[in-house]
Amino acid sequence: MTRAPLPLPQAPGFLETRRIDRWWIQPTLVFLGFGAFIVYSTWAALQGNNYFTGGPTHPGAQQLLSPFYSPVLWDAAGLHSGHAWFGQQPAWWPSYLLFSPALFILPFPGLFRFTCYYYRGAYYKAFWGDPSNCGVGEPGFRGTKYRGEQKLPLILQNAHRYALYIAILFIGILGYDAWVSLWSIDAEGAKHFGISVGSLVLTMNVVLLGSYTFGCHCWRHLIGGRQDCFSCHKHQHAAWKRVSWLNQRHMLFAWMSLFWVGFSDVYVRLCSMGIWTDWRIVG
């Protein structure tokens, strides 16, 4: 396509636009929404405590586990959640480094959201002004040096499907956590079935996260979208149509699941701290 440069009008200046609607509201809300989640989730991940209820230390309570901390590879020192795969904080962990079970977990769902097609479009606008909104001018320093996702570093966004594979594993683990939340263990170690508000919170969490994860654009491609002949691959076509339904609502589920996963941590944390009571509905 190399040819004489087109005599184009000068690019608009930063935030220059002739739009007269309130175009700045959407990127501002996205900035505040993502910003609030990043600040809260970082704070919660660094706490390293109050991430569960029930288990050996709280007999009789429903076994709730914060999704920020699931799966628990190692419990923080002195805590026995009953969920840890490998026991207590490992001895090899350097004493000068802060230990929190969430630090091993949160990077993975974080990476899935960071590379998500919906979030990319949203945070490029809200955080980088690239552009701030449709038809609104960009910062002048980028100009023709713009690289987009064509070159490093953002070409790495093409690895989104690998983040998806891990996110699907997490849906299974969080589904198991929702099942475990239906049970409490008494002082003698016997299991009792019951449904509490917390069980519903964690169940809703996995439903919303699943709706977001399985509406992923990569998943839509891998499940059937890559085929040109749908009549030759009827099962893939059927799956593609169902995923397309979720994909059309990807933004909705992205926000709902983001809010709910944060709320789930708040709920478990406040119950663990004794500030809220996890009311039992059944059992």
Q: Is the dihedral of CA 245, 250, 251, 257 positive or negative?
A: positive
User: What minimum distance in Å lies between the beta carbon of 158 and other proteins?
Assistant: 4
User: What minimum distance in Å lies between the beta carbon of 116 and other proteins?
Assistant: 10
Q: CB-wise, 51 or 119, nearer to other proteins?
A: 119
Q: CB-wise, 155 or 273, nearer to other proteins?
A: 155
Instruction: State the DSSP string of the chain.
Output: ---SPP-PPPPPPTT-----S-TTHHHHHHHHHHHHHHHHHHHHHHH-SS-B-SSTTSTTSB--B-GGG-S-SSBPTT---S--SS-BS-TTS-TTS---GGGGTTHHHHHHHHH-HHHHHHHHHHHH-TTSSTT----TTTGGG--TTTSTTGGGGGGHHHHHHHHHHHHHHHHHHHHHTTEEE-TTS-EEE-EEHHHHHHHHHHHHHHHHHTT-HHHHIIIIIT-S-GGG-HHHHHHHHHHHHHHHTHHHHHHHHHHHHHHHHHHHHHHHTTSS---EEE-
Q: CB-wise, 50 or 247, nearer to other proteins?
A: 247
If you count them, how many residues does the chain have? Answer: 283
Q: CB-wise, 196 or 247, nearer to other proteins?
A: 247
Q: CB-wise, 233 or 280, nearer to other proteins?
A: 233
Q: CB-wise, 167 or 180, nearer to other proteins?
A: 167
User: What minimum distance in Å lies between the beta carbon of 242 and other proteins?
Assistant: 14
User: What minimum distance in Å lies between the beta carbon of 139 and other proteins?
Assistant: 10
User: What minimum distance in Å lies between the beta carbon of 57 and other proteins?
Assistant: 43
User: What minimum distance in Å lies between the beta carbon of 277 and other proteins?
Assistant: 44
Query: How far is 42 from 40, CA to CA, in rounded Å?
Result: 5
Q: CB-wise, 20 or 91, nearer to other proteins?
A: 20
User: What minimum distance in Å lies between the beta carbon of 190 and other proteins?
Assistant: 46
Q: CB-wise, 167 or 178, nearer to other proteins?
A: 167
- Judged by the rule CB under 8 A, the positions of this chain that interact with other proteins are 1-3, 5-9, 11-12, 17-21, 23, 117, 120-121, 124-125, 130-131, 134-135, 137-138, 142-144, 146-151, 154-155, 158-159, 161, 217-218, 220-222, 225-226, 228-231, 237, 247-248
3-state secondary structure of 75: strand
User: What minimum distance in Å lies between the beta carbon of 252 and other proteins?
Assistant: 13
Angle subtended at Cα 155 by Cα 4 and Cα 41, rounded to the nearest 5 degrees: 135
